[in-house]
């Protein structure tokens, strides 16, 4: 278990430190294609396709004030889908691209760039019409071509600063 944590930490540090580039990903690998589908389904606003990327046994290790755990009667998968559905409501022209990606057999780490216009309520803030740009660094453990675990950090402070500027 310790080696897995070290490997996931190393991959995360590579992405966060800017040492990785999209060229390092094996474009044919299923782990890389999963990150690409993550970005593509969100950019297409295909919430059902997005939900299909996650295993029913999905575990989200990212818990914060900005991304609280789901209520007791909601699975982590449904909580994550609801979080991104709210993002699509707040930013109806949302586009997601991959800035950097690193993969191994069971993991993909990616730095995602989100852009969109604040045209719906987002994080409780009424539409401002402002263009937003923010990032997240995410690590997914993949099994049977589904996301089974997630660790990540999103720039929620940056989002809120842009919304309140």
| 108, 14 contact by CB (below 8 A) | no
Give me the pLDDT at residue 3, please. 45
Give me the pLDDT at residue 114, please. 97
| 91, 118 contact by CB (below 8 A) | yes
Q: Which residue has the higher pLDDT, 158 or 6?
A: 158
Q: Is the pLDDT of residue 4 over 70?
A: no
- Identify the domain containing residue 55 by its residue range: 2-164
User: Averaged over 122-130, what is the pLDDT?
Assistant: 94
Domain holding 145: CATH number?
3.10.450.50
Mean of pLDDT over the chain:
85
| 98, 36 contact by CB (below 8 A) | yes
The distance in angstroms from the start CA to the end CA of the chain is 44
Measure the CA–CA gap between 9 and 20, rounded to whole angstroms.
14
Q: Per mean pLDDT, which range of 54-63, 64-73, 95-104, 130-139 is the poorest?
A: 64-73
Q: What is the reported pTM?
A: 0.81
Give me the pLDDT at residue 115, please. 98
Give me the pLDDT at residue 55, please. 97
Name the pLDDT band for 165 (thresholds 50, 70, 90).
confident
Closest CA to 31 of 110, 113, 89: 110
Q: In what order do the strands lie in the sheet with 95-103?
A: 54-60, 146-154, 131-143, 107-117, 95-103
Q: Domain total for the chain?
A: 1
Name the pLDDT band for 67 (thresholds 50, 70, 90).
confident
Q: What is the pLDDT of residues 22-36, one digit of tens each?
A: 434 444 467 889 999
| 101, 137 contact by CB (below 8 A) | no
């Amino acid at each position: 278990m310790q080696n897995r944590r070290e490997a996931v930490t190393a991959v995360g540090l590579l992405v966060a430190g800017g040492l990785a580039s999209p060229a390092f990903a094996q474009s044919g690998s299923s782990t890389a294609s999963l990150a690409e589908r993550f970005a593509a389904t969100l950019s297409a606003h295909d919430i059902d396709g997005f939900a299909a990327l996650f295993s029913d046994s999905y575990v989200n290790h990212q818990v914060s004030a900005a991304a609280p755990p789901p209520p007791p009667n909601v699975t982590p998968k449904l909580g994550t889908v609801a979080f991104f559905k709210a993002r699509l409501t707040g930013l109806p022209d949302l586009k997601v691209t991959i800035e950097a990606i690193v993969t191994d057999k069971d993991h993909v780490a990616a730095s995602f760039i989100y852009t969109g216009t604040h045209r719906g309520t987002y994080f409780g803030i009424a539409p401002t019409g402002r263009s937003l740009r923010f990032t997240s660094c995410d690590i997914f453990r993949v099994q049977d071509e589904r996301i089974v675990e997630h660790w990540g950090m999103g720039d929620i402070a940056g989002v809120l600063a842009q919304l309140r500027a």
